[in-house]
Amino acid sequence: MKSLWLCGISIMLVLFGNARGTALQAGIVPRSLLTAVESPLPEFSRMIAMVIPAGFEMRESEDVAPKTFAKIPEGQTTVPVGDLVAAFNRVNRSYRAEMLDGVFVVRPINGRYEFLDSASPITEPTKQIGVIRSLRIVFSPLDAALLKPSLGSVMGKRAVEAFSTPILLDGSKSRRVIDTLNQIAAQAPGAWQVITRRGADQSEKIARLAFIYSDGARSIQQMR
């Protein structure tokens, strides 16, 4: 596993009570996220990862480190997560959001990475240890080297804990790759990222995998 940075938080993120747990159970999010949809996608994805399980397929050219995290004031009102989906889709012309099995998923409107919609390689339920290890298993059909043990260093409490987090993967019943990724986001918790680039044949190729943890830390796996 190749580690990345824990972005310095210049503006403290203050969650109202146990915001993540509340949002996950009731399908609600802080109202301030309705205006956050206008933020650059990398910044928005980190804000979302701190509140609800999420997943992002995004272009490599947009995968840049955010300079700050916006503040989520304590005690603010909440809105249904469906309102957040609608707000995101109103202001974004290149990406579209939807809820899939309780996970907030954003993907390009055009030129999507087709592997995510293919059948999951996990043919029966299996328990894996570690978030990045689980991602590597899901994407191992693309590169058998992902099945080999890999060591690395990380920053951030949640990223360290993620090394030993048990993850149940289940690709049975015609589930797709993206469905299996959503299982990881829901259990970790946090947000998966699939970063793509345009290949010589004009199709989307995977450049790297990443996972944003609920404390804002991010781990990354480069793809060959």
**Cα 13 from Cα 215, distance rounded (Å):** 9
Number of residues written out for the chain: 224
Each residue of 89-138: pLDDT tens digit? 999 999 999 999 999 999 999 999 999 999 999 989 999 999 999 999 99
pLDDT of residue 163: 81
Q: How many CA atoms lie within 13 A of 173 on its CB side?
A: 5
Does residue 172 sit in helix, strand or coil?
Answer: coil
Tell me what the mean pLDDT of segment 206-220 comes to: 90
Residue whose token pair is 């060959």: 224
User: Residue 172: pLDDT band by 50, 70, 90 thresholds?
Assistant: very high
What does pTM read for this prediction? 0.85
Position 155 confidence tier, pLDDT thresholds 50, 70, 90: low
- Counting residues of the chain whose pLDDT is more than 70, the rounded percentage is 82
Domain ranges of the chain: 2-222
Judge whether 78 and 29 are in contact, CB under 8 Å: yes
Report residue 178 as tokens: 């993206």
pLDDT at 19: 47
